[in-house]
Amino acid sequence: MKAYEELVGGEGSRINYRADRYKVRDLFRHVLPDIEIAHRSHRLHDLSMSGIAVVARGEDGWSGELGEQVPIHLRLGDTILHEGHGRVCRVEPTPFGTKVALQLTSGHLDIPQLVARHKEVCLRRELEGGLNAACERIQPEYRQFAADFVHLLRRYRSALEKFDSVAHTPEDESRLAEVLSICEERILPECRTLWYQGNALVQPILGDPEARKATKLFTELVITPEFLDGPIWKRSYEKPLGYPGDFEVMNYVYAWRRQGATPYAKLLHRVGLDGMECIANRMVMMQQTIAKIVADKQGPVHITNLACGPAQEIVNFLRLGAIPQAAHITLIDQDHQALAQAYERTYPETLRLAGQATVNCLHASFGQLIRGGRLLEKIPSQDLIYAVGLVDYLGQRQTRALINGLYQQLAPGSLLVIGNVKEGPTSLLWPAEFLSDWSLIYRTEAETYDLARDLPTASVTVKAEASDRVQLLYIQKPDN
């Protein structure tokens, strides 16, 4: 225990006290309140005693001005939880839409009272409406689908509970590995069949906000808890860094090994890895592209990875051994921890290569990332620029603007690669959006080609990775 005189105060901007902010999911979990700002619905992000932050979805989701006074209505169904006014004090882009922070100018939020009121309203709604009201927007076919999925998982849970989670001897470990292999061989095709069925069932409701919201809530209450023993599912759903698909989720995919506290948890983790195989395939495709460009170029090669995450393809490339040309690599990300890990893994390789490779890391906000061309203005023209996960969160207009800006930073004859999740019957839609609350923008091949429509002189190609869930857009700049 520290003495009073040993306590450390805030430093820099933190010396100014701010009321504690609470993530909306930490307070309300499954049934989130509705928020209206200036009579327009948005998604509540966080709140404090004196302020509220919302996320406005879509490229045109927010049209207000800084300093503007706006009415605020926080409600659950027809019940008003808070009513007042606020001043717009910050507007910034995020992977999920435009985040708008408002300072309350009338009244305040009593957080404990607000949570208690929310619980009371939820309870009354459940008691008054019953099961029929809760499920009236859920397709009967979807309810049957959910029952089938839960039954499948519980069958395997029951079977694996017969095995001790700790291998006491090498024989125990070998026996458990054999059992898991048998389970994996059987469950993976069964889960894929149900996953694709889920994609087909939710497709008709994507344009119906109320049905979509109800179906997501139903899924998160009924099916999601069955998956949360699996480490990759738990991290994707709970988002400890505040956003989905963080660098540790990517690391799970790249490591591709059994992880989990119990045999059943290991099995669930393997099911998640199967769905995310496309991420590993995407990484390998980029590693091959990097190796080819470095091999073909005469003279030093300049490469930039925008929204790099753990930059596994760069790590793998540098570990291959000697490289034929000097490679100068710039890694850019909004997550400082991701950059730290990427640098820790690449720096020893640059020392081993004795100056043949350099790695420079830039820590940028999401807003700076989507204006990527400006980030690269002060470094040499690049031979390869790639962003393989960023535009999954950007609309068509924003993505075209990003591509146009990055294209200007390419040297003549150089390559820009943009990755995007692909729309289709085997896409990641159901497990990502409905099971894991991980919203992405899926594009057809034609929509992906359309992203380069402002670059008529470029050579444009689209290639899908092996599972056909992610596609890469290759934009080759002419030599002159």
90: helix, coil or strand?
strand
Whole-model pTM: value is 0.84
**Type of residue numbered 34:** D
| Residue 224 confidence (pLDDT) above 60 | yes
Question: What is the rounded average pLDDT of the residues 124-138?
Answer: 68
Of residues 442 and 83, more confidently modeled? 442
- 70, 86 contact by CB (below 8 A): yes
User: How buried is 283 (Cβ within 10 angstroms: 0-12 exposed, 13-18 middle, 19+ buried)?
Assistant: buried
In this prediction, residue 134 has a pLDDT band, given cuts at 50, 70 and 90, of: low
DSSP string covering 227-286, please?
A: HTTSHHHHHHHH-TTSSSS-HHHHHHHHH-----SSHHHHHHHHHHHHHTHHHHHHHHHH
Least trusted range by pLDDT, from 25-39, 243-257, 266-280: 25-39
Q: Distance (Å, rounded) from C-alpha 118 to C-alpha 156?
A: 37
pLDDT digits (tens, 9 = 90+) for 148-161: 999 999 999 999 98
Length of the chain: 480
pLDDT digits (tens, 9 = 90+) for 2-11: 443 444 444 5
Question: What is the rounded average pLDDT of the residues 160-168?
Answer: 70
- Tokens coding 284: 């390998």
**Percent of residues, the chain, with pLDDT higher than 70:** 91
Task: Give the domains, in start order, of the chain with CATH numbers.
Answer: 11-133 (2.40.10.220), 137-275 (no CATH), 277-476 (3.40.50.150)
pLDDT digits (tens, 9 = 90+) for 58-103: 555 677 788 889 898 888 878 888 888 989 988 887 766 788 888 9
- Tokens coding 457: 């002189």
Q: Distance (Å, rounded) from C-alpha 258 to C-alpha 265?
A: 9
